[in-house]
Amino acid sequence: MLTGLLFAFCATVLNTGAGLLQSAAAQQTTSRTHLALRPLYVAGLVVDGLGWICTVVALRHLPVFAVQAALGLSIALTAVATWGIYGVRLRVMDRLGVGACVLGLGVVAASAGGEGPAEFSGTAIVVLASALAALAVAAIAVWRLTAAWPLALIAGLGFGGTSLAVRAVHVSPDAAFDVGQLAGQPATYLIGLYWVVGITCYSRALAIGNLAGVTAVFSVTEVIAPGLVGIVLLGDPIRHGWVIPFAAGLVVAVAGVVALANAPTQVTGHRRRRHVR
């Protein structure tokens, strides 16, 4: 369990760094083609990939909701980094929102049982594939909206789906790395498709919204949705006597997201600027 937590927190730091790099690139262009070619954006993808590898390792040791809750701590790291880099002064409501997200996700992470993660079933694979199709349709429907939170929400569901798909891949602990075995599993392709939906919507949300607000909606969605799926479909264990704290943590985290959804857009192009217009 300690190994899983260590890799989960490493992934949190790496994901935060990736978000900052991608945000800096996204705020400087309105062209998706140009965005993909920007060095900062490419660097963000590389850092994000390293974070994903750490997440995969963590998911092999911990329930989905515990890993995702640890990743959700990027909300606090992003808020601090936004202040340090852009000089954005968060409102009192924004600070309360960040605190609620961190507190709620911390309780959710602490609710994880000590047993190893459960196994995926064929039914769960069908549910994942159906959810992927629904997310793709939703992404197309909200793509032109000026509000960033719907895209951030879909991005969170997309990256949450990658975590569930990782858990769906069957790999024997004693077996050597076998590309053929991975290629023969539907879950392998679901990982890539969920990632495409997630990174596309996340990049668009960063281009039109506030980094702290987008991260909050994205992170909490990435925690709650796959976490509940893991509990319902996989039987991921909740610590004995912690069902009520677990539910309360979810409610508090969602309340924090609502508070952050309308956070002011950051000022880009200048460091250490202290006021938001």
Task: Report, as an integer, the average pLDDT of 144-152.
Answer: 90
- For the chain, where are the alpha helices, taking DSSP H only? 2-26, 32-37, 39-59, 64-71, 74-86, 92-110, 122-142, 149-168, 179-183, 186-208, 211-229, 243-260
pTM: 0.69
Query: Contact, 80 vs 57, CB < 8 A?
Result: no
- Who contacts 8 (Cβ-Cβ below 8 Å, separation ≥6)? 54, 55, 58, 62, 66, 67, 70, 71
Rounded to whole angstroms, how far apart are CA atoms 124 and 130? Answer: 10
pLDDT of 244: 92
Q: How many residues does the chain have?
A: 277
CB 150 within 8 Å of CB 142: yes
What's the pLDDT tens digit per position in 77-127?
777 777 777 676 777 887 888 888 888 878 887 887 765 555 666 777 888
